[in-house]
Amino acid sequence: MPSFDEAKVWGILATENAKALLASAHMCADHGDRGRGISLAVLAVEEAAKARAMFGYARSEHRPAFILDAATMKKIIRGPHQVRHLIAWLQGSSREARQVSMSETRDAEGENRHAAELAALDWLLVANTSKNGGFYVDYLGNGHWSTPLAATDEQWAMAEAVATPFVAEAENQATRWRADPIRGWSEPQGEAPTFPREPRPT
């Protein structure tokens, strides 16, 4: 495991890489290469999840109750990609949306947010398959093929809807650590982004 200071640096570097990957994803999608855009968006989420876990680990120096122990952190850093996808959903889900399922009263806004976060979970559960599908050609049998060119506008819109606010929150946390290198607790700029209610129209 890195030291607490190394975790801060790792988080900031991973955030910068996540931003670059997402920018490359947009460039691909804007030029009609939606498949590779989706793949790069998945990579951006993976890097941002790693960055946010690193920031949490660094903060645990002053907050011993941090829930991710060293063994779990190693899984996030070195384990299967699916671990980072699940961590990404846990990091991106809002407290308000989680409370909807336990509430006895209707909350339309909370229900919409909860539905969006469940849609994000569905996307993250198959994100590794989507990532591979955007990079490789594969034979599916019976004369059918999987190719990056088969990705649709709707699939790209969902990838963008999940990845953009998630990377933005990693950047928000990196900004806090730059402003407060000891604890990373400086005031955030605006409300922390969460998964949007629905993909942005294309």
String of b and e for 174-197 (b: at least 16 CB within 10 Å)? Answer: bbbbeeeeeebeeeeeeeebbbbe
| Predicted pLDDT of residue 192 | 47
- Give a yes or no: residue 31 inside a domain: yes
Q: Is 112 inside a domain boundary?
A: yes
Tens of pLDDT along 43-77?
999 999 889 888 888 887 776 666 566 777 777 77
Instruction: Write b or e for each residue in 42-73: b if 16 or more Cβ atoms lie within 10 A of its Cβ, otherwise e.
Output: bbbbbbbbbbbbbbbbbbbbeeeeeeeeeeeb
DSSP secondary structure string for all residues of 123-134: HHHTHHHHHHHH
Q: Looking at the domain assignment, is residue 194 inside a domain?
A: no
Per residue in 131-190, pLDDT (tens digit) is 999 999 999 899 999 999 999 999 999 999 989 988 998 999 999 999 888 877 655 444
Position 202 in a domain = no
Q: How many domains does the chain have?
A: 1
**55-64: pLDDT as tens digits:** 888 887 776 6
The pTM score is: 0.76
Residue-number span of the structural domain to which 127 is assigned: 4-179
For residue 114, tell me if it sits in a domain: yes
Q: Which ranges in the chain belong to alpha helices (H)?
A: 4-30, 34-59, 70-78, 81-92, 95-100, 108-125, 127-135, 153-179
196 lies in some domain: no
Predicted confidence at residue 122, as pLDDT, reads: 80
